[in-house]
Amino acid sequence: MTTPSIPVNPSRREFLQRTAAVAAAGSAVTLPGGAWAAGSDAPEKKEVRIGFIPLTDCASVVMASVMKFDEKYGIKIIPSKESSWASVRDKLVNGELDAAHVLYGLVYGVHLGVGGPKKDMAVLMTLNNNGQAITLSKKLADKGAVDAASLAKLMSSDKREYTFAQTFPTGTHAMWLYYWLASAGINPMSDAKVITVPPPQMVANMRVGNMDGFCVGEPWNHRAIIDGIGVTAATTQDIWKDHPEKVLGTTAEFVQKNPNTARAMIMAILDASRWIDTGLQNKMKMAETIAEKSYVNTSVDAINQRILGRYQNGLGKTWDDPNHMKFFNDGAVNYPYLSDGMWFLTQHRRWGLLKSDPDYLAVAKAVNQTALYKEAAAQVKASVPKSDMRSSKLIDGVVWDGTNPAKYAASFKIKAA
């Protein structure tokens, strides 16, 4: 007897019906580690190529491979180091990559055809919360610009063209940068010039004076401090505590053809995420591993401080941040909340990347593979939330809860013309 196939993002009823059918068929054999391994539950594709950009938050993908969590679920993850988010996008779309450590907003941009090819996409899980930052050049800091308010003051008194960099037009770093600037009354569309620079090239570009500030993931903000060329003006957890950041992204076509493989990838990376967050020793081993040339290619000390929440701003201030980068946090990190995906769409609308309001909820339901994630989480005993939505208050005091996205997107005083 064959096991019923799984839809790309089934409803709860479909999931329960499928589970009952599997039980009746007796064909789902669970290994001691929780893997689904028999019959039609075996991974359709045994070797999966997962792209990543050299950033600290690629760690769960890398460690799932290095620590062989993948083998437990019948797959082999091949991490593929990529040069830019545009390259990741193109290789996902054309099938050179099976999946990727990727910017949340990039997946949604491709799904809607914003800033590149249009292709139906899928978010399998969230890889991390928090842990990005906004860096201002040491030259700006020497003139008194060390946070959003003082930057706004300098820009109004010392008038010239100010250039800021983000990593991809629809990506997370662009949205954090724009939100932060706007919170201080700076319109990123009209008051500044914004350029796109791949993460590993940020520090070199600031060193030669190509930008006044940038938003990027670690370790490149801390690297700018080590190299004496930049200061941390804000962390992204200052903008939105426990914000969604990178996701495990793929195409809808891949999930439709390889649902068991997709589930196995989620399970392996959940195991790696849990392992990283278990304690100091694991985090230090992770830092040593991903610092290697084949992954992030930087010094261990550029990575290991901020993953423990030990921050400095480059001007003598130090602090312990409890809201540092999290990979698992007892499962709270990894659920692909519909409201998280919808938030990026509201910001794409705010900044003119979307010319009209999409059906926010329908798009999120199509992209975020909540049912598949719940299957994987149940297998590895990771907790899942009761709701697909969550509520958060951002840096400007405005609450986002996903209930009226079109109204939310239109409510901002500072937005694209």
Domain-embedded: residue 213: no
Tens digits of per-residue pLDDT, 57-82?
999 999 999 999 999 999 999 999 99
Give percent of the chain with pLDDT exceeding 90: 89
What is the pLDDT at residue 39?
A: 59
Domain-embedded: residue 159: no
Domain-embedded: residue 70: yes
Q: What gap in Å lies between CA 262 and CA 372, rounded to an integer?
A: 8
Mean pLDDT of the chain: 92
The pLDDT of residue 9 is above 70? no
> Which residue's entry shows tokens 């005083």?
413
The pLDDT of residue 249 is above 80? yes
Instruction: Tell me the residue length of the chain.
Output: 417
Q: What gap in Å lies between CA 284 and CA 300, rounded to an integer?
A: 9
Tens digits of per-residue pLDDT, 362-412?
999 999 999 999 999 999 999 999 999 999 999 999 999 999 999 999 999
Q: What gap in Å lies between CA 402 and CA 334, rounded to an integer?
A: 18
Please give the model's pTM, rounded to 2 decimal places.
Answer: 0.91
| Encoded tokens for 276 | 């990283």
CB atoms within 10 A of CB 398: 13
What is the pLDDT at residue 2?
A: 37
CATH of the domain at 259: 3.40.190.10
Domain-embedded: residue 45: yes
Domain-embedded: residue 162: no
What is the pLDDT at residue 4?
A: 36
Domain-embedded: residue 16: yes
Q: What gap in Å lies between CA 89 and CA 196, rounded to an integer?
A: 15
Q: What gap in Å lies between CA 29 and CA 45, rounded to an integer?
A: 18
C-alpha distances (whole Å) from 72 to each of 3, 8, 271 are: 22, 23, 10
- If one counts the domains in the chain, the total is 1
Tens digits of per-residue pLDDT, 317-370?
999 999 999 999 999 999 999 999 999 999 999 999 999 999 999 999 999 999
What is the pLDDT at residue 27?
A: 33
Tens digits of per-residue pLDDT, 278-320?
999 999 999 999 999 999 999 999 999 999 999 999 999 999 9
Q: Percentages helix, strand, coil for the chain, rounded to the nearest 5?
A: 45, 15, 40
Domain-embedded: residue 281: yes
Q: For residue 61, give its domain range.
A: 12-129+244-296+326-348+355-386
Number of helices (H) and strands (E) in the chain: give both, helices first: 18, 14
| Encoded tokens for 176 | 């954090």
Handedness of CA 273, 278, 283, 285 (dihedral sign): negative
What is the pLDDT at residue 267?
A: 98
The torsion defined by the Cα of 343, 347, 348 and 350, in degrees rounded to 10, comes to 140
Domain-embedded: residue 88: yes
Tens digits of per-residue pLDDT, 123-156?
999 999 999 999 999 999 999 999 999 999 999 9
